[in-house]
Structure formats: structure tokens, C-alpha cells
Structure 1
Amino acid sequence: MAAPGTMLAARLVGHGGPEALELAEVPVPAPAEGEVLVRVGAAALNNTDLWTREGAYGLPGDPDARAGWRGPIRFPRIQGADIAGVVVQVGSGSDAGLSGTRVLVDPAIYDRDDDDANPVGLLGSEKDGGYARYVAVRADRVHDVGDSPLSDVELACLPTAYGTALGMLERGGVRPGETVVVTGASGGVGLALVQLAAARDARVIAVSSAGKLSAVRQAGAGAVIDRATDPWEQIASAAPGGVDAVLDVVAGSGIAAGLPSLREGGRWVVAGALGGYRIDLDVRRLYLHNLTLLGSSMHTPAHFRALVDVARQGRVRPVVAATYDLADVRRAQEDLASRQHVGKLVLVND
């Protein structure tokens, strides 16, 4: 099936506010050797889209530098990491049988080709992504989800948020029956953590804003705590023996305040810094109690395959807050930045 010559895309033309996104007719990418062309059915938004647009990631040795997820961005860049769609063209050296397959795209660019590879780049940041009608991706990064009961909109919610959440659960060694705390529980990754942790039969204590606690409880949290109170005091009461793990996307001062809530040998997994990226920590509390403080960035190829299995079986149904046409991408990013919603925001193509 041949793709048309041009397509509508939302391109980032520099760092800045929503005005840095422009809609343009651009050439449809031709799949190179080892790639396929995917017609995008839906593309979900993530905080990384906002921070990449703003250049908020800093650089080693210069935390205030304007940079993307892994360094300087080459503009113009089509944003959008999370893509569900259909393969419409196959490049040389790729499996011709992929044509016509409904797929979920692994957005990570890895440092090597093995199951435990580390993500060192991302679609929509280091390579053009899915804020477009079509996207060219590596053939080995598309996964057949033709038998999934999830819609394209639901599938598109999974790669970054649920992939990051699954990476945190796996790296943190969360097992059935354990008690975990999820911070920032109403956001994309936070809600994914609640759902996935509950699906593996962990007891979830979720921290979120007061107006979103009911939605977080419906997602699977056994206990919900208003972040405006003293959450760590309440967590100590809810789990007097300490919690097994904290799954944290907030960081900031909460790490030092919450570390005593871990049991002996407990794990603290960090995958975000919504509350600030600098901490003041008494390291003695770390080693004297055999605690683990672990950074977790996205997922590995093995994690993503496990996530695809979740999608195929429909074991978790992502919460979708709103959908938008691609032409409304600026409004979608503004709504994402307002943090008034619970669940994912998704761009859809006709």
C-alpha cells in the first residue's frame, strides 16, 4: 500500500511555549532498510513532550541549560513517542508480512540490541515521532496487537507511561503481597503504577491531590492520601512495619521525608522530579537500613514485550481523559500542563 506524498505533522521548531509547535504539510517519510511505515491511529501525550518543548532537561554540569531528554534537539522535530497504528509500507530487509498489521510501537532508542538494553533516545525527541499521519520506525520496534481488545486510543496510552511504570515495578522487584507507595498517583505514570501494581496483587497506597483521590482509588489503590496533608505520617500509620517500596515520580523533599517509611531492606524507585531535582539526604539512613535508592528511566526491550502481553490480554485498561484532533495539538499540550485531568490525553487521526 503506497502512502501519499505529504502529510500533516506537528513540528517543534524550537524550545518555548505551545507556540513552538507548528502544523505543517511535510513529506511522508520513506521507510529505510530495516524500517516500516506506520499510519498513526492515535498518539498519546506525555510530560516528556512538554519538557522537551520547554528544553527543561538540562545538561550534565549545566542543569539549567535548555535541552531535550538526552541532550540538544535537532529542529524541526516531530514530537510524539506513543504510537498505535497500522503498518502500511515495509522497507527493504524487513518482514513483508508486517504490512497491514495493527501495531504498538516501542518508542525507545536503545544503547544496544539485547533484552536488558538501556534507553538512550526517544521517538519525538532524538527521532521524529507520532504527532503526524505517518511515522517511520524500526521494524523490530513494532509489536503485533491485532488481537488486543484495547482501542488504538487505549493502546497509545501504554508505551511511555505504562512502560515507565512497568520498568519501575520490575527494577524495584515489586512482588505480589507487598505494600507499595505511589506518589503523583493521578498523573500518567502514577496512574499506570497504581493499575499495574494492583494487577500484580500488591497493596497500593497512593498519594495524590484531594480532587483526584476517588479516581485513583477506582484505578486500584487500596488506600489514598491527600498530598496536601502530611502524607508520610499517614503512610507510617497505614503501614507501621514500613512499606516494601516507594514508586516515586515526584522526588524533591519527599525523598528525605519519606525514606524512614521504608522497611529494612526496602526500595525507593525514582522516575521523575515533579517536586524538584535536588535532595538533601542523610546517607546514613540509607546504608544503616540496607535501603536501595534506584533511578529508573523508561523500560527495557524485555519490559516492553511484557507490556505488549498486558495489552494483548487486556489485563489493564488505560484511563483516557480526553482525545484531540492532531490540529488541536497546542490545546492538548496546554491541557496537559494544567494537570486538571486524570488519565491520558491522546491525539487521534481520522
Structure 2
Amino acid sequence: MTTLPKTMCAVQMTGHGDTDKLSYRTDIALPSIGAREVLVKVAAAGVNNTDINTRIGWYSKSDDAEDASWSSEALQFPRIQGADVCGYIVAVGEQVDASRVGERVLIEPCLREVNGAELEQAWYFGSECDGGFAEYTKVAACHAYKVNSDYSDAELASFPCSYSTAENLLTRAQVKAGDRVLITGASGGVGSAAIQLAKARGAYVMALTSESKQQKISQLGVDEIVLRSEKLSDAVPANSVDVVIDLVAGDLFPQLLEVLRSKGRYAVSGAIGGAIVELDVRTLYLKDLSFFGGTVIEPEVFGNLIKRIEQQEIAPLVAHTFPLKEIVAAQSKFLEKQFLGKIVLTV
């Protein structure tokens, strides 16, 4: 039986603000688990936009950042962030099968159960509760998915958040074989994941990206590259796209609706180009478009993602790794956006 320490290393976010709100400590108490929970020794944890957006209060629609979380409730500080976790179960609650100890798992970042109770509104791992930027973390057993894979821990940690978000968007938009799918923000974590997952569904994939990244994007198997430097209407005919997977929004939004065909589907889970957009409602109703937001993932999504990982239908894209204590350097590198795939912290 493994003897567990009483304290651990972790990065605590002490409030909303700059990176000075991130504190690496070595004296954090080990999480105590409930009857339906498991304790996971973290091996690797990915860096995401949501970590930074939550820290700076970007999700807030008010001036005081009181609603700067996925659930629009005030966060409790200090908070250990980290939604992307690969690790190993080292202890289980009394209602969890003891044979699960030793399993390598990926943690589903969108939580429906916390502290043994079903939530009315889903939480996000590392936002409404402590996450994986630590040596150990806890989660409901139902959200710890066993994974059998030859990929490394760091490679597996690149999957949970971005790929489940992408798979959820494709699921909600009902992407199927033969669909023409346009993906914006294609070089980011969710965008590059969406390319692979849409191809796995048999879709024709168009990726919107910069000239500097088009060669790397091409290696993901896209059918067509659309350059950001081009006017979208010059590169993509109007009424020719079945589904838009959008991570950008901003000024591009009206053009994305124009390229959608009648009864096209628009799915969004990001707004790095700007959250406030211009919508001509006539385009929406005259083309019978369907809009989908993507935050809370559908129940079947994460299990389907695990299957695709195990069957190697999708590949990890790890651009850089940093030790946990260098989280500020990792987030600084992340914000440069000069890479394809994910940045991962090793623990």
C-alpha cells in the first residue's frame, strides 16, 4: 500500500489579476476524498485559455469580476487551476471499487458530480473547484476515465479540455461524413483538435489560419487551407459550408454566416477575436441557421473521446513542456501563440 504524504506542491491562484496572483507552494494539504471520489497523483496537466481567462476575470460581464467563472458565480480563493489532467489513481473512497487504484486516467473537465452530489449546473475542473496544477487532485470517480494508451503522460494531458470541447462542438452541430466544415482558430488547441475529430467523422475540412502556420496545419490532414490574410468571401463561396466551428468570433462573425448554406450550423466556444459581434438577424432566419454554444459537454462526449484516443484515430500535439513550478513561463509562452497544439506542465 502506497503511503501518501500529508502535504503537496501546487500552484494557487490567489485572486483575479496578472501572473503575480499565481503562487507556487510546497505546503498545501493533500485533498481528502469522499465516498464517491478518487485521489489522483497528477503526472501532467495542460495549459488552456480558460486558465488565463479565469485568472484575469475575462468571463465577467461586470466591472468587479464577481461573476468571472464558468458558472457566473464568484470564485473562492485560493484556487488551484488546471482542467487538463493525466494521472494515476492512488486512493479511492469507500463506495469506489478498490481495483481502480493504479489506473492511469484522464479527468473529464466538465463536472456533473461534486462531493457526492449531482450538480444543477455543471462546474469546470480547476475553476469552481480545485484542479490539476498540483501533485495530487481529487474528483468524482465517474469523471476519472481509465485510458489504455502508448502515449506519454504529457501527450495524454493535451487531450481532455481542447479535444472534449472540439468533440462537443462537432456533436452538438451533428457533423457527419460528407459535411463541409470550416474551422477558425485552427492552430489553437481546440481548433487543431476539431480538425482531427472532424476528419475522423469523414467530413471535408477547411481550416482558417495564418500563412506562418499553414504548413503545420496541412500536416493534420485538412482538405483546404483558408488564409486569414484573404477576405473570407473571396476564398470560400457563399452558401457552400454546412458547419462552422468558430473559436474566433469578432469582426469575422458576419462573414462566417454568409458562407453557411441554408440550414447550416454554427457552433462556437471561443471569442479570441472579440466577444461582441454584429448579427444581421435576417441572415439567421432567412437561411434557417442553427446556433450552438459549447461549454457544458454532452454526457457521451468524453467516453467517445477516450475511444478515439485508444484507437489512435487522433494524435496528441504537444508543442512545449514546462515543470509545474515554471507555470508563469508556460503561460507567457502560451500567450505568444507561436506554436501548434498544447503546452503541458509536468508534475
Q: 1:331 is matched with which residue?
A: 329
After superposition, the CA RMSD in angstroms is 1.7
Q: 1:42 is matched with which residue?
A: 44
Is the CA contact (8 Å cut-off) linking 1:111 and 1:119 kept in structure 2? no
CA deviation string 1:80-137 (max 9, x = no partner): 011111100111211111111111111212289xxxx996211111010000110011
Q: 1:213 is matched with which residue?
A: 214
Q: Which ranges in structure 2 are unaligned for 5 or more consecutive residues? A: none
Q: Distance in 2 between matches of 1:139 and 1:294?
A: 29
Given candidates 233, 255, 259, the residue that maps to 1:261 is: 259
Q: Distance in 2 between matches of 1:97 and 1:232?
A: 56
CA deviation string 1:3-33 (max 9, x = no partner): 2111110110111111110101211112122
Where in structure 2 are the equivalents of 1:114-129 lying within 5 Å? 120-129=122-131
Given candidates 93, 96, 111, the residue that maps to 2:95 is: 93
Where in structure 2 are the equivalents of 1:63-102 lying within 5 Å? 65=65, 67-70=68-71, 71-102=73-104
Q: 1:307 is matched with which residue?
A: 305
1:191 maps to 2:192: yes
Q: 2:140 is matched with which residue?
A: 138
1:241: Cα distance to partner? 5.3
Is the CA contact (8 Å cut-off) linking 1:2 and 1:89 kept in structure 2? no
Q: Distance in 2 between matches of 1:106 and 1:139?
A: 10
1:229: Cα distance to partner? 2.1
CA deviation string 1:244-284 (max 9, x = no partner): 10000111222212211111111111111111111221111
1:178: Cα distance to partner? 1.1
Q: Identity over the aligned pairs, expressed in percent?
A: 40
Q: 1:33 is matched with which residue?
A: 35
Q: 1:14 is matched with which residue?
A: 15
Where in structure 2 are the equivalents of 1:134-213 lying within 5 Å? 134-145=136-147, 147-213=148-214
Is the CA contact (8 Å cut-off) linking 1:50 and 1:337 kept in structure 2? no
User: Please, what TM-score do these two structures have when normalized by structure 2?
Assistant: 0.94
Residues 303/322 of structure 1: CA separation in 2 closer, same or farther (3 Å cut): same
User: Please, what TM-score do these two structures have when normalized by structure 1?
Assistant: 0.93
Is the CA contact (8 Å cut-off) linking 1:106 and 1:141 kept in structure 2? yes
Residues 111/279 of structure 1: CA separation in 2 closer, same or farther (3 Å cut): farther
Q: Distance in 2 between matches of 1:329 and 1:132?
A: 11
Given candidates 81, 89, 109, the residue that maps to 1:107 is: 109
Q: Distance in 1 between matches of 2:259 and 2:128?
A: 38
Equivalent position SS for 2:329: helix
Q: How many residues align?
A: 339
Is the CA contact (8 Å cut-off) linking 1:253 and 1:280 kept in structure 2? yes
